[in-house]
Structure 1
């Protein structure tokens, strides 16, 4: 992406991660993007990344990750 935000796994073995590991990895990317000022709304960007990754997450589960 040209805006400096990461939108794909960059480490070998990323596709072998469990669903929870994938979600935590996306959350770590989102939090770093927010910290660096590349994104503002952590929840919105995480929802977008989850959708792009094809990961379905319910509201309760999402809230647990965002704590």
Structure 2
């Protein structure tokens, strides 16, 4: 039996959609892309990978904040 992880499937969809040409995108196409990326983020956030990304982004934001002082 073949099982597909939904987060992996959404990651593939996001990559394919980002590779498309940028000139002929409609507003609905952009809204759909944002929705797909948000759902992907919700699915990945509770995983170890998602927590690692959160830590890296938090450290980067703290570094930028400290540099601005």
TM bucket (normalised to shorter chain) is 0.3 to 0.5
TM-score by length of 2: 0.35
Higher relative contact order (CA 8 A, sep 6+): 2
State which structure, 1 or 2, has the greater radius of gyration over its C-alpha atoms. Answer: 2
TM-score by length of 1: 0.36
Greater share of helix: 2
